[in-house]
Structure 1
């Protein structure tokens, strides 16, 4: 019987019912972590947790609307009451460009045609959501004197690409937020790192009909690309790693370089 790397680890993943969140949750569970699977209350969340439990994993449904301060604080109270603490928080919940322009890849829309409502909606989820959830759980980690926060981001190219307002700015803000969070929490023994796939992934962010139009030459990464780095960042191996930006497709090289410094 092989030892699992994350036995005893308590984790929470937002936006965990599909896409990158689902893949990262499964990777953590498979290595022995106990995971609070977070998404808005409903069938999607219930079905995801039921599927994990059927595989024998220690998964728990934790309804959470990341745009609500009250919901984030209720989730933190649940974790404190039920588990007594949290080792790993993965901020992943987000929405993509299709919410403001369903044809964003083939017919990019200039920023001045984006509705203020669409802009605010995406920023509220992708930036304010990360802030609210981290804000709710940071005091618990500070009390513990340890913890890991992992913020999911995207390529720099996405932040500069034509027609990518407001998604590009939301992820640029995510990265600035992450670097500052890392510095604010460093003295408390709490690590903050960023993780991104390194390319477009097969998730709901890109509508299926758009993928067909793009043709077979457009290769998309599978969400499982996030498995190895998320397990590493949650494991004892990542002790002392903070303020890092890790690209999943380059993870092995990043790890090699880190292990062979000096």
Structure 2
């Protein structure tokens, strides 16, 4: 695989798992994070990867980082919009002591929305014109289960992710037929990341590595033309088998 990839929020959790899988598959990966030093440390442990400072909330930071990656790689074939803040930023005990939306501080609400929704918009807005000029590209927006979007005690995380999913669908509609594809990818359940505390009794979490196979496939030649899909990583093998079966039947 010779894809050139930018993964936002790639210094830990899902982002690191995806960056690792892509790098090990042969892609050139830009590992980005708010701390450039941390991004470079992580990238040093991945084959052929580079680390880039990128604060998705800041337009200047976004423009500078995208320009740096584009220049160093000679383009970006795949953008993985992943950077996000979780509920712990506004309520460290959200799993055991959820709070009503009226108890959420306004600045905490804005910080989460600025990262999880506005951040997706800003990075995609910066990358898309370059992809269009280059004749094509791929964008994968990381999503969550629909239950998370309406769960009690999940303001502002739930609304921010509902917004980013709507944004992704509008992006896909705007870009249909242009050569730039947009898809959603989600784990399919609560996942072991820095966003979550330790699992309470009776709960089990998915490993971040569940995101590896689908993101590698979405970067591959096999996924050319795949557009406006919502792929659940935990069910990826079955989804892919059904897709192949439908393709064979129609052929």
Query: What TM-score does the superposition give when structure 1 sets the normalisation length?
Result: 0.92
The offset of 1:50, in angstroms, is 1.9
Which residue of the partner structure matches residue 237 of structure 2?
252
Residue 96 (structure 1) aligned with residue 89 (structure 2): no
Pairs aligned (count)? 247
Query: What TM-score does the superposition give when structure 2 sets the normalisation length?
Result: 0.96
Deviations 1:134-178 (A, max 9, x none): 000001100111101000010001001000011001111111100
Contact 2:44 2:50 in 1 (8 A): no
* Greater Cα offset, 80-89 or 195-204: 80-89
Provide the aligned C-alpha RMSD in A.
Answer: 1.0
Residue 227 (structure 1) aligned with residue 212 (structure 2): yes
In the alignment, the residues of structure 2 paired with residue 188 and residue 84 of structure 1 have an alpha-carbon distance, to the nearest angstrom, of 21
Deviations 1:182-205 (A, max 9, x none): 111123200000000001111111
Residue 60 (structure 1) aligned with residue 60 (structure 2): no
Q: How does 1:138-217 map to 2 (within 5 A)?
A: 138-208=128-198, 211=199, 214-215=200-201, 217=202
Which residue of the partner structure matches residue 239 of structure 1?
224
In the alignment, the residues of structure 1 paired with residue 37 and residue 127 of structure 2 have an alpha-carbon distance, to the nearest angstrom, of 26
The offset of 1:42, in angstroms, is 4.3
In the alignment, the residues of structure 2 paired with residue 84 and residue 115 of structure 1 have an alpha-carbon distance, to the nearest angstrom, of 43
Which residue of the partner structure matches residue 41 of structure 1?
35
In the alignment, the residues of structure 2 paired with residue 225 and residue 37 of structure 1 have an alpha-carbon distance, to the nearest angstrom, of 19
Q: Secondary structure at the match of 1:260?
A: helix
In the alignment, the residues of structure 2 paired with residue 185 and residue 13 of structure 1 have an alpha-carbon distance, to the nearest angstrom, of 20
Residue 24 (structure 1) aligned with residue 18 (structure 2): yes
